Amino acid sequence: MSDADSGGIAVLAGGVGAAKFLAGLVEEVGPERVTAVVNVADDTTVHGLHVSPDLDSCTYTLAGANDTERGWGLRSETWLAMESLGRYAEANDVTDGDAAAWFSLGDRDLGTHLYRTSRLGAGLSLSEVTAEITRGWGILANLLPVTDDPLRTRVHTRDGRELAFQEYFVRERHDVDVRAVQVDGVADAQPAPGVLEALGTATAVVIAPSNPVVSIDPVLAVPGVREAVSARRDSVVAISPIVGGHALKGPADRLLRDLGHEPTVAGIARWYAPVASTLVIDLEDADEAAAVEAEGMRCVVTDTIMRSVGVTADLAATALESLAGS
Amino acid sequence: MSDADSGGIAVLAGGVGAAKFLAGLVEEVGPERVTAVVNVADDTTVHGLHVSPDLDSCTYTLAGANDTERGWGLRSETWLAMESLGRYAEANDVTDGDAAAWFSLGDRDLGTHLYRTSRLGAGLSLSEVTAEITRGWGILANLLPVTDDPLRTRVHTRDGRELAFQEYFVRERHDVDVRAVQVDGVADAQPAPGVLEALGTATAVVIAPSNPVVSIDPVLAVPGVREAVSARRDSVVAISPIVGGHALKGPADRLLRDLGHEPTVAGIARWYAPVASTLVIDLEDADEAAAVEAEGMRCVVTDTIMRSVGVTADLAATALESLAGS
């Protein structure tokens, strides 16, 4: 039995794509071996509540409680709180600010945010609250926010606006031309307890098929994280979030292009080459394998479309095997 | 037509009892004439949300949306957010603090608190937000928080604990011996815009059948309010919240006794005589009318059990007529 069959697996994770990958990985290697280091720069305060979209996507998906049709949030969700809020917003023509109800929170989902906000208010750190929340679902994998310090992604648009991440992502449905992305607070942030240890001791580090700009980069940007990952470069494999020149979900392709990068697997290879030795790309991009290797990464071609937990478990196995053979 | 048939009616109001009275008063005189000056010392922050129980009781009841069986909150309510929160609280043995879910917020009700918290966060005052919320329900009566400043009732128990009001009222179900009640912040509070004007210009001021200690006293204690009411003493009528020696609902009787007052209509007369000229008592207490008048108040005996809007409208009419005849 090689190390890859028994050691810890650390995953750099964003939201929905990472959550799906984690579900397959857990299926493949068992939950106890998995530590996800999750982006928190999408976190926001809505109506006074601390919302952590990426942590919640990972949590709900690992709990098997996510809504697969809607693609986010909880299954069997109801929306009575938002309907109630909408009554007030409409009567008063409130269309700006978070009272405008464009950031929709389901009733069950609200329970998570209410609990998180209460416990943070009681003095717990975000990583402590995250452990409590995952315990609530019986999740055995380890979910760590990359930092307990507040990070906030700000999106600067070509037409001169500065948007909070959720304004960009949800309210504007990422249909804007982006000039630059910054992560407020990241320079002074510290990795959450356990993050550097997980990255340093894992047999393999996987960069999940998340948005490299707004999900993975804010994880790597926390001081010490990029260094810890690149120090393990030979043990780091990334799954391309770009297939056939497009993001499977979300704005990764447009965002890469807006920021002067190529929204192709070769572009992803160029992006991740400093921190990862191997890139897993989809069958559809097989003829770009040489272009990936030209960027200095080994290239593995497999089915990366996570249409089921079984397919995703195979994807995870292939990614881990690609490192074991190195 | 006398003034009492056309002028404004100001009501000092607490929660559920006041809400019922307001519904009858509005039925009797029409909503446009009514201004309620509402207690906010029960307000609390739960899970990061600003909850105003008395304002909401008045709002929901005037909207006809209150749950009459449960006695508080909204009709057709669901509790999914609290169930969700409970999952986390149970898994982590969280029994203290507001994450413990003893302060139950329905899903529809949450929409109100989310909206209020958002709008306060956007810089509006509580009275401005209250106007927006009542507009959402099409309420034509004027609901004013007595102050836009934060008041917080603290309950000191005989066994040496200091409880926040909702800990006393909801968590402990007011089953504690009380040594003293204080209202933090009241010395520096200012009446909200419109409060002193409403009290000064109203044809009649009614003290609703609310808890005199923890609902009406924090209203009167806001600097300027007691003076404005007592200056109008001849135009002020109180409805006794005590019937047959008991509060119809809540802890008014026990609280009065704990604090050294008599939980009878005579005790209520002694309490309100400095600010009100007339006390309305229930038929059940008819033989105590002389004891009330011995405290220096005129006494009116009628049916005060607000079992329907019609009965309550008659009660309101009787109260107003008692002043018109003075």
Give the pLDDT confidence of A262-281 residue by residue, as tens digits.
Answer: 999 999 999 999 999 999 99
Residue B170's pLDDT is 87
List residues of chain B with CB under 8 Å from any CB of chain A: 46-50, 78, 80-92, 94, 97-99, 105, 107-115, 117-119, 121-122, 132-133, 135-138
Give the closest residue to B20 by CA, choosing from B210, B244, B284: B210
Cα–Cα distance, A260 to A271 (Å, whole number): 11
According to the model, what pLDDT value does residue A171 have? 87
Residues 6+ apart with CB under 8 A from A227: none
Residue A123: partners with Cβ closer than 8 Å, 6 or more residues away: none
For an interface test with A, the pick among B50, B55, B74, B80 (most A C-beta atoms closer than 10 Å) comes out as B80
Distance from CA of A56 to the nearest CA of B (A): 13
A257 CB burial (10 A radius; 0-12, 13-18, 19+): middle
pLDDT mean over B199-211:
97
With a pLDDT cut of 90, the percent of chain A lying above it is 89
Percentage of chain A with pLDDT > 70?
A: 96
B97–A84: do the CB atoms touch at under 8 Å? no
Residue A5 confidence (pLDDT): 65
Pairing of strands A278-282, A236-239: parallel
What distance in Å separates residue A8's CA from the closest CA in chain B? Answer: 26
Q: Side-chain half-sphere of B204: how many Cα atoms within 13 Å? A: 28
Among chain A residues, CA nearest to B117 = A47
Min Cα separation A127/chain B (Å)? 14
Task: Say if B154 falls within a structural domain.
Answer: yes
ipTM here: 0.91
Reduced to 3 DSSP states, what percent helix, strand and coil does chain A have, rounded to the nearest 5?
Answer: 45, 20, 35
Query: Beta strand pairing status for B178-184 and B152-157?
Result: antiparallel
Q: What is the mean pLDDT of residues A85-111?
A: 85
Of B178, B192, B165, nearest to B52 by C-alpha is B165
pLDDT at B249 over 90: no
When divided into structural domains, chain B yields a total of 1
Q: Which of A48, A89, A136 sits opposite B91 (nearest CB)?
A: A136
Terminal CA-CA length for chain A: 15
Residue A320 pLDDT > 70: yes
Chain B residues with CB inside 8 Å of A166's CB?
none
User: Which of B114, B119, B143 best tests the A interface by mutation, with the highest count of A CBs <10 A?
Assistant: B114
Asked whether residue B305 is assigned to any structural domain, the reply reads: yes
Question: Which pLDDT band, with edges at 50, 70 and 90, does A119 fall under?
Answer: very high
Nearest-neighbour CA in chain A from B225: distance (Å): 30
Write out chain A residues lying below 8 Å of B133, CB-based: 88
B198 found inside a domain: yes
pLDDT given at position B11 = 98
pTM: 0.92
CATH of the domain at B250: 3.40.50.10680
Are B48 and A119 in contact (CB < 8 Å)? Answer: no
Within chain A, residue ranges assigned H as helices are 16-29, 53-62, 80-91, 107-121, 126-136, 165-166, 195-201, 217-220, 225-230, 252-258, 265-272, 289-294, 309-324
| pLDDT score, position A6 | 77
Relative to beta strand B152-157, strand B162-164 is: antiparallel
Q: Whole-angstrom Cα distance, residue B274 to residue B138? A: 36
pLDDT at A279: 98
Domain containing A96: what range?
A: 3-324
- Residues of chain B above pLDDT 90, percent: 88
Give me the mean pLDDT over the A136-161 stretch.
97
Output the pLDDT for position B100: 62
Q: Does residue B326 surpass a pLDDT of 80?
A: no
Q: Above 60 in pLDDT, residue B262?
A: yes
pLDDT at A1: 40
Q: What's the mean per-residue pLDDT of chain B?
A: 94
CB–CB contact B111 A86 (8 Å)? yes
**CB-CB contact of B238 with B157 (8 Å):** no
Q: Which residues of B touch A48 (CB under 8 A)?
A: 48-50, 114, 117-118, 121
Q: Is the pLDDT of residue A175 over 70?
A: yes
Which of A49, A78, A88 lies at the smallest CB-CB distance from B136?
A88
CB A62 within 8 Å of CB A19 = yes
Contact between A271 and A216 under an 8 Å Cβ cutoff? The reply is no
Cβ atoms of B127 and B194 within 8 Å: the answer is yes
- The structure tokens listed for B90 are 């149970």
Q: Do B111 and A88 touch (CB under 8 A)?
A: yes
Q: What is the mean pLDDT of residues B189-216?
A: 97
User: What pLDDT, on the 0 to 100 scale, is given for residue B6?
Assistant: 77
Binary contact (A88, B122; C-beta < 8 A): no
B73: in domain: no
Q: Please provide the average confidence, as pLDDT, over all residues in chain A.
A: 94
Give the residue from chain A lying closest to B122, CA to CA. A97
Mean of the pLDDT values across residues A143-152?
98
Return the percentage of chain B with pLDDT > 70, whole number.
96
Q: Does any domain span residue B112?
A: no
CB contact under 8 A, A94 and B119: yes
Contact: B84, A133; criterion CB under 8 Å: no
Q: Answer yes or no: is pLDDT of A249 > 90.
A: no
Residue of A nearest to B101 (CA): A115
Examine the pLDDT at A150 and tell me if it is beyond 70: yes
